[in-house]
Structures are given as structure tokens and as C-alpha cells.
Amino acid sequence: MKKLAFFLGKGGVGKTTISSSVASQISREGRKVLIVSLDPAHNLGDVFGARLTDARTSLGPRLDGIEIDLAAWVSRYLKESREEIRENYRYHATINLDSYINILKYSPGTEEYAVLWAIEHIHREHREDYDLIVFDTPPTALTLRFLAMPSISLMWVRELTGMREKILEKRQTVLRLNPEASVVRGAVKKDEDRIYSRLSGIRSRLTGLHRIFQEESYLTVVVNPDDLSLAEALRIRHELEKLEVRIDSVCLNKAPDEGACKEKVEDSFRRFPVFTSFHLPDGVRGAEDLARIDVEDLKNDLIGRT
């Protein structure tokens, strides 16, 4: 069952406009919808003429909106990391923990993990309150990195777990040979080892996040009638397939009235439905214009999978 919808694509292709239109039109049909902006350069609030924050704001009957404060989630992730080190590792007193956390703030992956924790929080706290949660994502680079994080991190955690199992096995061997061996310190069984337990917890959390993208999410890629956005859309598709995450559809946005470029997009995405949204000459000037955008086929495909 698809409870989440992610709108992916190159910057400037109209992800915010299309996701807002879909969310608005679905809510007008009687379903309760939450739309969430993950893009650090937020403009979701501008579309609806509202000031959005990390807290839910009403955008209309049965429609609420959130703009994730990425800096706050980075701080939250770092605080969580600090607490884990203090709780699980005895040697934290011998290092300058504040300096370590300050370095971690600028380390690769920190921003991506912060986005993941924000998605996990939204999913956990609001999944039961809404029929659908729509995510307006950042441009491709950051989006692909946070979608890839669960899979990549799981590989690391599996290797670390295997190493920890070998350490515990060697401890058990030493104790069998010499029950009084003083060189063995710490737990020797998995269910008594705090590090093994922590690794198991991390693996469970990452597996849950990966399952959200695989099983509970509808992913559509927004493209424009130009070669650059089409090439980027193909890259998104191929990179996600490596992670065993499959897109569900493609939305050709800002298409010319005759839709002449649709064949090229359909040829590039033969196994996927391609929906067309034609360009509004005067643009989107406010929430009332969202109803004028033709996303009927995309909306129906999404509803059909929820």
C-alpha cells in the first residue's frame, strides 16, 4: 500500500508545482493529505501563500503543509550521535567529544542522514493521520544520496556486525580454553554485547527506511521537454534500480500544447506510464491556480495505488 509519494527530478522542472497540484486536488476530493517540502530552498509556502515551518500548517480543508528545517534536523542528528557515543562507548571521556561532533557536522552524509531522520519522523508521527503524505524533494544530487543512504549504510553495518561476531566468537574460544583468562574483557555473547545490540538496532532502523522507499512510496520523476531534464530523469531511474527501488511513473511537465515531445519521453521510459501536464501561459500565481493544472491521470494513478 502506497502511503507516501515522492516527486523527483532536476531543479527547476516543476516538482513543487506538480506535487502541490496533486496534493491539493486529492484533498479537494475528500482525502486527507500532508505535503512536505524537503528542499532546503523552500518555495512550497510561496505556492500556497502561507508561512510554513516544521510544524503542520493548514493549507485548506483536509490539506496541511510542512517545510522541513534541515539545519534543525542536522542538529538533531548530531545530538543523537553525541548521546549514542556517551551511552555506548567508555572511551568518550578520553576524546574531545565536542570537537568530534563539530567535525561530524561537515562530514559527508550528515545532511543526508538528517533528511532520512526527518522522513522517518514524518512517517512515524503522521502516517495514521493522513490518507497520503506527499514529499517535494530537493534537486537530484541530494535526493539520490538520501535515497541511497539506507542501502549503502546497511552494507557497512552488515560488515561491522560480521566483524563483531568474530570478536565475540574469539572471546568465547579463549574462555573455553582458559575460563580464567584475564585478557577477555566485556561481553562474550551477542545478547549481552552492547555494541552488537546497537549494530542490530541500526540495521533494523535502516532496513525500515529502505522498506519505506521500496514498498510504501509512490515515486514519480518530473521532466521538462528538454534533453537535460530527460537525461537527469534517466539517471534517477537507473541509480534507483541499483538500490532495488523502482519509480512508478514519469510526469512530463511544461509540455507544448501539441505534446510533440511525449513520444521521446515514452520511448525512454517504455516500462512506465508517462503523464503530461501542459504549460500554463501565465504561470502559477497562487493556490487557486493549482486546480487549473491537468494532473488528472497522474493523480488517478497515484490514488489507484494507495
Using one digit for the tens of pLDDT, what is the confidence trace for 70-111? 889 888 877 777 776 666 555 445 455 565 556 565 566 678
- In this model, does residue 44 exceed pLDDT 70? yes
Tallying the residues shown for the chain, one arrives at: 306
- In this model, does residue 58 exceed pLDDT 90? yes
The predicted pLDDT at position 200 comes to 85
> Distance between CA atoms of 171 and 169, rounded to whole angstroms?
5
Tens of pLDDT, residues 187-240: 667 777 777 777 788 888 889 999 999 999 999 999 998 889 999 999 999 999
> Distance between CA atoms of 116 and 146, rounded to whole angstroms?
6
Residues 6+ away with beta carbon under 8 Å from 295: 18, 21, 22, 25, 251, 275, 277
> Distance between CA atoms of 161 and 199, rounded to whole angstroms?
6
Residue boundaries of the structural domains of the chain: 4-304
> Distance between CA atoms of 31 and 219, rounded to whole angstroms?
19
CATH of domain 4-304: 3.40.50.300
- Arithmetic mean of pLDDT over the chain: 84
The predicted pLDDT at position 212 comes to 92
User: What percentage of the chain carries pLDDT values higher than 90?
Assistant: 41
Tens of pLDDT, residues 155-192: 878 888 888 888 878 877 777 777 766 555 666 677 77
